[in-house]
A and B are shown apart, each in its own frame.
Chain A
Amino acid sequence: MKINRREFLSLTGKSAAGAMIFAACGLPEKELIVQSPVGYPEDLVRGEDAWYATSMPDYANGDGVIVRVVQGRATKVEGNPDHPINRGVATARYDSTLQILYHPDRIKEPLSRYSKSGNVINVSWNKATNDLRNMIRDSKDKITIVTNPLRSHSSYVSSEFAKKFGAKNMYFDPINQNTQQHTLKRIFDLDRLPHFDIENSQTILSFGADWLSTWYSPAQYNEMYGAFREGNGGERGYFVHVDPRMSNTAASADLWLSPIPGTESDLALGIAYEIITNNLVEEKFINQFLSVIDFNLNEYSTSIVAKKCDISEEKIKETAKHFAKHTPSIAFGGGSSEAHTNGTFTTTAIYCLNILTNSINTKGGIIPNPESVLPKINSTATGNSLADWENEINRWSNGEVKTLIIRGADILHGMPEFTGIKEAISKVENVVCFGQVYNDTMDYADLILPEDTCFESWDTNIPEPAPGYQVLGTQQPIVGQTMTSDGSGVISNSKSFGDLILQISKDLGENIGNDMESMIKGDLKELHGNVSDGSIISNSSDNFTNGILQRGGWWNLSNKNKNFKLSTKGISSIKSNSDFSSIDHHSDEEQNSGDKHHSSDFFLAPFISNSILDGRLAYAPWAQQTPDPISSASWSTWVEINSHQAEDLNIREGDILQIASSNGSIEALAYPHPGIRPGVIGVPIGQGNKNGGRYAEGRGSNVLSILANMRDSESGALAWAATKVTVSKTGNRRKVPKMEGDVEARPVEPGVPVLVVSPNETAKEAQEHNHHQYQKELFEKKDSKSKSDH
């Protein structure tokens, strides 16, 4: 029996009768499946798409990506499965880069400001190039070129330019890792960040660094974390994370330790004490460890440390046991743990734990990375320290810098106000800014040059950290300039930073190279002559070069750091410096005068946003809308505060709080939760942009602006987690824009939204257990109710 859709609808309208008819007729089930009658885009294959392999420097640490291009438009970014850094996986930032490429507020043409207080006007590239050329010619030896930390042909061009024109290179990273890198050089003589062999570890002990979200190479670390959880190193790995605030990384840990901020060094040494006094590792490693410290380890006994850090002794013992016994194990740290005035001591204590477990240069431990495969390109880069920046800002104030060129860094947004950067930059005669969207620094620029995105320009990227062997990522233009919809012009008449610097250098008689494309291809051909193995092997240098570009880079698994030797002779003695002075003390008067509602001292724990980073992606609506993993908030600046403490202070979610340090104040929305230590508040970095286009402008607050002037005594790095603040209610409230609460929880069992099992338990057993537990609690409640009724 055949039946069409109309008849079917008619029959079903007769309800039970319809059902009986179907049953009686034995209608083939397939006939009743109502399929879509029209062709949707989803059902059709429209033309060919192409996936280009490239790499992303500014938002992804040089990760390898593949970009889908359809009819000349980039539509999707995914991890490059071939690339050894991220091996196909992505982060929550990759696709947002498309929105920088097609941003509705992209700078269309070069902009020029005729007087320091005047407005900017559009100028032609001819005029802009002429102006820049004149500025450089007239400022020889009085030029500073500021970029974000780069490991690429752009950084080569930038440094060569600096050499030729007597300029100074400065690197800016608002949340830099100076202290950790300083420590790694000092104690292990490592010139560049090592590979943390997470996937082959059995125990990970990390401090402060939010490595699953924003620290260095999250895509690489996430990929390895998946293998770590699967038991690549033997059985499922055990992970302990130390951070006063529950970060995205801390949330994934098996054990989260939340010490008083600044006491991380005590905790690391307390763990060492526990391992040593209980002989949990071989004696030779204990002796090696003891030979490098020149203080009495008994000062770090478990009981003393537990009290000082406010962590239970049991947890310290458990951590020590896991770390020592379930090997290979690895200890590393940075982030908030190094951002105190005792940062060098803390990171030294953390990394020296690896001596106890023989985790240096061993599988599942810390693997030194080799130098760059292209000698002209640096394999490591970090932002300059606060001390360096203060010197530089002084030069600006004193008129020692006549032309300042800035690329890839919004220094006015990222630099704390106490540095006096605003006044200083106003005194520089020529300020030139490259960028895609008008940012806060551009308010001080005399010349603003629209710059290509990484999808429009040639470059290379050496990822840091490398995966233990040499990797060179290539970046190629995967789309050309995009026309506006009415065909009147292009979205942005941008140029590549590298190409422009090369052209101007050449115009001024200094030939660094013709253009980025020919320079990179030339270097790849040279590489062909220097290497005999690796990811691309070909007799022809052209094929070799094309192969690299098609695959997104070149790497060689056997090119490791073979010269590294761990020697205690190379390790300077560790001097105790646990008396950190990370508190920006307010006077009693200040503390009492602030707020009539409630006021209290808090450690300020700024953290890099998972989606907008330090503000680099604040311009992209996708990055703005992405829920924060912990608070689920978006589009705003919020303050994370312990829920019990908030209750005591009568602070409710959505209260607008004023956060005041000795260097100013900001406002943000209260978000109480149980994953943060009482006495600590967490505030995301990245918002509070005065400019930045329609999606970023005037949104939230810039927590970096109120940081206190404190630094690590040895590295000179900004102690950005050491500021103490007061928190007070403004009396105003606003709904926190967040995903949480949009939908109700759907428990597996009542009160159990996410099923959790013990290592040997099955899901079914856990469900039954939860069910029994729930019934037990239910009956207990009923019992107590009936007793109270009686």
Chain B
Amino acid sequence: MTTDVEKFGTRNWGMIADLDKCTGCQACVLACQAENNIPINTEDRVERARSISWIRVERYWEGDFPDTKARFIPIMCQHCENAPCEPVCPVYASYHNSEGLNVQVYNRCVGTRYCANACPYIVRFFNYWDPVWPESLRNHLNPDVTIRSRGIMEKCSFCIQRINRTSRKAKSEGRELEDGEIQTACSAACGTHGIVFGDLNDPESRVSKLRNHKRAFTLLEQFGTDPNVIYLAKIDPNKKGSEEGHH
């Protein structure tokens, strides 16, 4: 049996999202939009359910007035170890890299959208149109991130450009990366420090410690996708515990 290090090289990037801290504030959503040159989701695109949002905060209602609860959950590419989007791509545009990332190769993508069909988390987005920014707004585009053209599938990359930039900086300074040194746009923006990014291969990293938290779970575990995004369950002090439930 191979170890994680043999499987992924020295790093295996992962993310923790603590639902007990998520306030649904949308800071992560906008930070991602700005960092990754995501086209403007115009009103027309939103109405036609064609908006692109590499990370979104879903809100679910529970109960009825006056005992209504709103539950928030940020959803982004889960960077699955057994990613259902990868084997269905006829041109290998979707592949797993040596650091545990599920990566999209834009210039291979021919737009079959099989990957989007296969993804149970619905986090892959198709560019139905060429991205358009008014000339002056092009000034704020991130030069580190490819602008995707029409007909291309895209999704969360765990801010791979930040991983590369920070890793090379550490290498040029002749030192190892420190835990927490690499921040994705969403984790940097999170108002409550509820999103944590790091190396799951490093047993001392925060993500490694939190993945063993008693509240840790993954989405759609029954599918066996083995995601690298791990959630910590929301705590509700008014909820009856399982010991009061089904026994």
* Residues of A near any B CB (own CB < 8 A): 29-30, 33-36, 38, 40-47, 70-71, 73-79, 88-96, 98-99, 101-104, 106, 212-213, 218-219, 222-223, 225-226, 229-230, 236, 238, 246, 248-249, 251-252, 254-258, 311-312, 482, 484-485, 491, 610-611, 621-622, 624-627, 629-630, 632, 634-636, 642, 644, 673-678, 694, 735, 737-746, 748, 753-769, 772-773, 776
Contacts and interface: CB of A to CB of B under 8 A. Distances in A.
11 contacts: A45-B144, A75-B140, A89-B192, A225-B23, A248-B24, A626-B30, A627-B29, A746-B120, A748-B220, A758-B242, A763-B233
A236 B190 CA distance: 19
A89 B190 contact: yes
Interface size for chain B: under 10, 10 to 19, 20 to 34, or 35 or more residues? 35 or more
B11 interface: no
Contacts of A776: 246
Contact of A45 (B35, B98, B138, B164): B164
Contacts of B92: 34
B235 interface: yes
B197 interface: no
Given A255-B238, A485-B135, A33 B98 contact: yes
Contact of A91 (B24, B72, B103, B191): B191
Given A311-B66, A757-B215, 12 more contacts: A94-B189, A102-B137, A104-B137, A249-B23, A627-B29, A739-B51, A757-B235, A758-B235, A758-B240, A763-B214, A767-B217, A773-B246
Interface string B15-53: 000111101111101110111000011110011010101
A219 B191 contact: yes
B209 to A, nearest CB: 14
B236 A757 contact: yes
Contacts, number: 334
Contact of B95 (A34, A88, A636, A748): A34
Contacts of A766: 233, 242
Contact of A222 (B42, B47, B160, B191): B191
A229 B7 CA distance: 36
A36 B217 contact: no
Contact of B24 (A94, A102, A629, A745): A629
A760 B244 CA distance: 12
Contacts of B240: 758
A38 B231 CA distance: 34
Interface of B: 2, 7, 18-21, 23-27, 29-31, 33-35, 40-43, 46-47, 49, 51, 53, 56-66, 68-73, 75, 92, 95-98, 103, 105-107, 120-122, 134-146, 157, 160-161, 164-165, 168, 185, 188-194, 214-217, 219-221, 231-242, 245-246
Main secondary structure of the interface of A (DSSP, over half): loop
A44 to B, nearest CB: 8
A218 B25 contact: yes
Nearest to B71: A754
Contacts of A624: 43
A761 B242 contact: yes
B57 A754 contact: no
Nearest to A225: B192
Nearest to A36: B105
Contacts of B35: 76
B22 to A, nearest CB: 8
A90 B27 contact: yes
Contact of A223 (B2, B191, B234): B191
B61 A674 contact: yes
Nearest to A624: B43
A246 B70 contact: yes
A759 B235 contact: yes
Contacts of A94: 27, 30-31, 189
A42 B144 contact: yes
A482 to B, nearest CB: 6
A610 B25 contact: yes
Contacts of A71: 143
A254 B53 CA distance: 29
B46 A739 contact: yes
A78 B189 CA distance: 7
